[in-house]
Amino acid sequence: MHFTEAIAHFLESLCAPEPEKKQFAKVEFQTEPYSVSLFHWVYHIYRMSKISPSGIISTCILLDRIRLAFPTLHFSNLNVRRLFLIGAMVISKVYEDVTYCNKDWVVISHNSFTLHQINQMEWELLVLLNFMVSVSLEEFTSFSHFLLRDYHVHMPISLAPLSAVHHSQRPTPQKDSVGYVEFYVPSQNKRQP
């Protein structure tokens, strides 16, 4: 089984039974790509976004965290594609070397969502996760074993946990840096023009 197919099966397992047809008529769901099979949706995002297999698995870990933290929040065929798309976008921004801006994710979604919707969904996902988007080596390994055991998926050989970079290899903030998140550490050797 291709690993994206296993991911699609995992996402289906998160979903509650199909909602009544009248919910499809809601304005917010009129552009929802629910007519695309979940496998094709996952594969399309994987291929178009160039996210790594590790990123796809880490996306599922984030979605599983939401499921566990909010048991009354139901995943459905209507929202699982949104959640997967935005989860992949967030993981891509955090872990991938090459990533896209939000307007590119509108295109990746086949224009199913506007830029405003993408921005809003990203914010909502981050709030649900309490902005905790890192995936530990233990979480990653455990989830990979779960996929192998329950879905008989054979992972790509290049699969490695995204968080495997040792903390000593990551940049650390300078002593006099501001007390909020910094996205980079300024270089000590600045070039003079």
CB 108 within 8 A of CB 48: yes
pLDDT at 17: 74
Q: What is the pLDDT of residue 144?
A: 86
CATH of 3-128, one of 3.30.460.40, 3.40.50.10860, 1.10.472.10, 3.40.50.700: 1.10.472.10
pLDDT at 97 over 50: yes
Query: Closest Cα partner for 122 from 133, 111, 136, 112?
Result: 133
> How many angstroms separate the Cα of 78 from the Cα of each of 53, 131, 163?
24, 24, 31
**Of 100 and 165, the one with more pLDDT:** 100
Tokens representing 173?
Answer: 């903030």
- In this structure, the number of other CB atoms found within 10 A of the CB of residue 79 comes to 19
Q: What's the pLDDT tens digit per position in 2-53?
A: 788 889 999 999 987 765 454 544 444 445 555 678 999 999 999 999 999 8
- Cβ(151)–Cβ(84) under 8 Å? no
The 3-state DSSP class for residue 31 equals coil
pLDDT of residue 169: 40
Domain boundaries of the chain, sorted by first residue: 3-128
Q: What's the confidence (pLDDT) of residue 177?
A: 37
Q: What is the pLDDT of residues 128-173, one digit of tens each?
A: 999 999 999 899 989 888 888 888 776 654 455 554 443 334 334 3
Which among 48, 112, 53 has a CA at the least distance from the CA of 78?
112
Token code pair at residue 33? 């790509």
Query: How confident is the model over 106-121, as pLDDT tens digits?
Result: 999 989 899 999 999 9
Residue 8 in tokens: 């699609």
Confidence tier at 91 by pLDDT (50, 70, 90): very high
pLDDT at position 99, please? 85
Exposed, middle or buried: residue 54 (CB in 10 Å: 0-12, 13-18, 19+)? buried
pLDDT of residue 147: 85
Evaluate if residue 74 carries a pLDDT over 50.
yes
